[in-house]
């Protein structure tokens, strides 16, 4: 029923635009016949807005993968670079949360491990809204930051790395079969910044899927039940993503090509010194407004990726 509602909404949108194009065409003919320059100017403004809307809808056609319309689970891991990389991971988390907020998506942090001095070692967030996974899958990969380190007494230039994972949420438990006997579930006290913030009861949950070796944990909620529920949701998403990766690798093997998702394969660089630039290495798109990107203005980067992958099988 939801897919039917979405299809009906799409059809109504395109038919509405078709009607609008016809109306503007008639108005333009009328303006030219009567020599009404003011009307012609108004039609021109509306036509530009319509063209922008059509461009946006054209890009939405790139979001035609089997899971693109789903909510997304985002995982960020600090890489090489110590405290700088942990701070970089925190900056990325803020960037995605700001992007989600500006698009009316609901975003919440599911789990977080803070760094010893600053930033985060890892974090997991849920982004809920139309096409959340379709948009955010463009962010999968290694993100590289170059800047003057605020944690270096010499204020030297440092390069930091963080890995971003994006998984589609599992909507139907039948999609992923999990044998309860394959799970090892541990409970422990949630860690915090110390003092009253440390839970006195064992509410944090760690679930190990023995056959795959996947380990997920959650400690943000005060309820052990809620933490377990969230951890299971993340485990389902990870198992679904692993199956999608297996299918993609099999396709690549049959085609005779395979590219490893290794740490060296950074997808994007963010340079804050000696100049400012954000460059996506897959599409070639770059901008000098690094501050805006880090403040959540990702749309142009996402559009460039969608255009580059339009017509390709992205799963």
The tokens for 214 are 């996947």
Residues of the chain with pLDDT under 50: 193-199, 257-262, 313-315
Q: Are residues 90 and 165 in the same domain?
A: yes
Residue 127 covered by a domain = yes
**Distance (Å) of CA 103 to CA 96, 131, 298:** 11, 11, 11
Domain boundary among 213, 234, 255: 255
Cα angle vertex 52, ends 48, 58, to 5°?
140
Residue 36 covered by a domain = yes
Q: Are residues 229 and 301 in the same domain?
A: no
Q: Are residues 164 and 188 in the same domain?
A: no
Q: Are residues 219 and 270 in the same domain?
A: no
Full residue range of the structural domain in which residue 44 is found:
2-60
Q: Are residues 49 and 90 in the same domain?
A: no
Q: Are residues 185 and 231 in the same domain?
A: yes
- The whole-angstrom separation of Cα 306 and Cα 60 is 8
- Please state the domain count of the chain: 3
pLDDT on residue 140: 92
pLDDT on residue 128: 94
Instruction: Report CA 210 to chain centroid distance, whole Å.
Output: 28
pLDDT tens per residue across span 51-90: 888 877 776 677 777 788 889 999 999 987 789 999 999 9
pLDDT tens per residue across span 147-166: 999 888 777 888 999 999 99
Q: Are residues 185 and 219 in the same domain?
A: yes
Q: Are residues 290 and 249 in the same domain?
A: no
The reported pTM is 0.75
Q: Are residues 163 and 29 in the same domain?
A: no
- The whole-angstrom separation of Cα 89 and Cα 71 is 21
Q: Are residues 169 and 299 in the same domain?
A: yes
- The whole-angstrom separation of Cα 197 and Cα 195 is 5
pLDDT on residue 200: 52
Residue 315 covered by a domain = no
């Amino acid at each position: 029923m939801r897919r039917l509602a979405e299809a009906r909404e799409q059809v109504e949108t395109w038919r509405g635009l078709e009607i609008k194009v016809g109306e503007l065409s008639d108005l333009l003919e009328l303006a030219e016949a009567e020599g009404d320059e003011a009307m012609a100017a108004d039609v021109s403004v509306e036509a530009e807005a319509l063209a922008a809307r059509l461009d946006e809808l054209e890009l939405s056609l790139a979001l035609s993968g089997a899971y693109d319309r789903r909510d997304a689970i985002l995982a960020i891991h600090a890489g090489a670079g110590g405290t700088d990389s942990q701070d970089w991971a925190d900056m990325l988390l803020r960037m995605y949360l700001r992007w989600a907020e500006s698009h009316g998506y609901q975003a919440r942090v599911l789990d977080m491990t803070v760094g010893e001095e600053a930033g985060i070692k890892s974090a997991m967030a849920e982004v809920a809204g139309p096409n959340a996974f379709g948009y955010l899958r463009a962010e999968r990969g290694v993100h590289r930051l170059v800047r003057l380190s605020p944690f270096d007494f010499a204020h030297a230039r440092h390069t930091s790395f963080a890995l971003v994972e994006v998984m589609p949420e599992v909507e139907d438990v039948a999609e992923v079969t999990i044998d309860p006997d394959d799970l090892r579930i541990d409970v422990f006290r949630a860690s915090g910044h110390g003092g009253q913030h440390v839970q006195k009861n064992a509410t944090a949950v760690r679930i190990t899927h023995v056959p795959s070796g996947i380990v997920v944990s959650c400690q943000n909620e005060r309820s052990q039940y809620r933490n377990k529920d969230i951890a299971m949701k993340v485990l389902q998403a990870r198992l679904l993503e692993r199956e999608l990766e297996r299918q993609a690798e099999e396709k690549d093997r049959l085609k005779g090509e395979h590219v490893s998702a290794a740490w060296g394969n950074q997808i994007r660089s963010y340079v804050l010194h000696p100049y400012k630039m954000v460059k996506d290495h897959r599409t070639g798109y770059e901008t000098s407004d690094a501050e805006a990107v880090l403040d959540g203005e990702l749309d142009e980067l996402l559009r460039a990726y969608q255009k580059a992958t339009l017509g390709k099988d992205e799963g």
